[in-house]
Amino acid sequence: MSLNLTLSELLAEPLPVAAVIAAALRRAETDLSAEWRVQDAFRRSGLTEDLFNALVSPNPLTRLAAARLCGALRLSESVPWVEDLLRDPNPKVKEAAIRALGELGGRRAVEALIEAESSIAIYRLAIALSRAASDIDIESLMRQPKNEKVAIVTVLACGLRADELRVPPLLGIAQDRRWPQRVRVAACKSLGMIGDTSAMEGLGRLADADPVPAVKDAAGRAKQRLARTQVAP
């Protein structure tokens, strides 16, 4: 199958086109062959190479649109070019690159996001990482974070992923005073986001007795959030 489209037609309406592609791939998530067929249709039409070339266009609108489409199509080959856009002088292009790397996923995309962490806001980076990282990536980053900000981002990504498997290590981080205060606070927030009520007892102890006010407050808020989850119909 090939597509009867031109690059200019794709780039003219990148948001609706990306939305349609993303929806189609979400439906195909349990069938990798279906994802491959969508991507192959673009390759056979010559559009994949055109999209890669568009990533280095002098026009920022073209770079933005190409990044959005490469992300939606999950074209892993585009990661090196999308990574370059993290340093783009146009903030909208940079934002499109962050989003695309989150959608592309894989070790190279995760490494690109972490390498650029100093220039990306914490919550924006956490959202992208929550989408891009595998369980192995998350485990590695939790064990050996690059710095305090990466530790915070990784912990928050666990919450955004509603990763119930991370509840025990997150409780351990929240309770361990060797971790920086902001990381412990982020761990409490993530436990609240995950919604696993098995964390209530540990959060309760922190809310009652932790000597750090910010951790004590974050634990109390997370416990309240879990309590609401417990009584919800």
HEC string of 154-172? HHHHHHHCCCHHHHHHHHH
pLDDT the model gives residue 11: 75
CA-CA distances (angstroms) from residue 201 to 118, 140, 143, 212? 35, 27, 24, 18
CA-CA distances (angstroms) from residue 81 to 17, 112, 190? 21, 11, 32
For residues 40 and 185, the model is more confident at 185
Give yes or no: residues 50 and 144 share one domain.
Answer: no
In a domain, 5, yes or no: yes
Can you state the angle between helices 60-73 and 14-27, rounded to 10 degrees?
Answer: 10
Task: Note the pTM of the prediction, 2 decimals.
Answer: 0.86
pLDDT the model gives residue 12: 75
Give yes or no: residues 150 and 228 share one domain.
Answer: yes
The CATH code of the domain that includes 205 is 1.25.10.10
In a domain, 121, yes or no: no
Is the pLDDT reported for residue 30 higher than 50? no
Is the pLDDT reported for residue 1 higher than 70? no
Mean pLDDT, the chain, integer: 89
Separation between Cα atoms, residue 85 and residue 41, nearest integer Å: 26
Give yes or no: residues 83 and 182 share one domain.
Answer: no
Q: Residue 56 — very low, low, confident or very high, per pLDDT cuts 50/70/90?
A: very high
Give yes or no: residues 177 and 87 share one domain.
Answer: no
Q: Residue 88 — very low, low, confident or very high, per pLDDT cuts 50/70/90?
A: very high
In a domain, 211, yes or no: yes
Give yes or no: residues 208 and 151 share one domain.
Answer: yes
In a domain, 185, yes or no: yes
Which of 104, 126, 148 is the last residue in one of the domains?
Answer: 104
pLDDT the model gives residue 73: 87
Give yes or no: residues 96 and 140 share one domain.
Answer: no
Is the pLDDT reported for residue 184 higher than 60? yes
Give yes or no: residues 7 and 94 share one domain.
Answer: yes
For residues 202 and 229, the model is more confident at 202
In a domain, 111, yes or no: no
The count of structural domains within the chain is 2
- Summarize the confidence of residues 45-67 as an average pLDDT: 90
Give yes or no: residues 140 and 232 share one domain.
Answer: yes
In a domain, 117, yes or no: no
Q: Residue 39 — very low, low, confident or very high, per pLDDT cuts 50/70/90?
A: confident
For residues 167 and 1, the model is more confident at 167
Domain span including residue 178 = 134-233
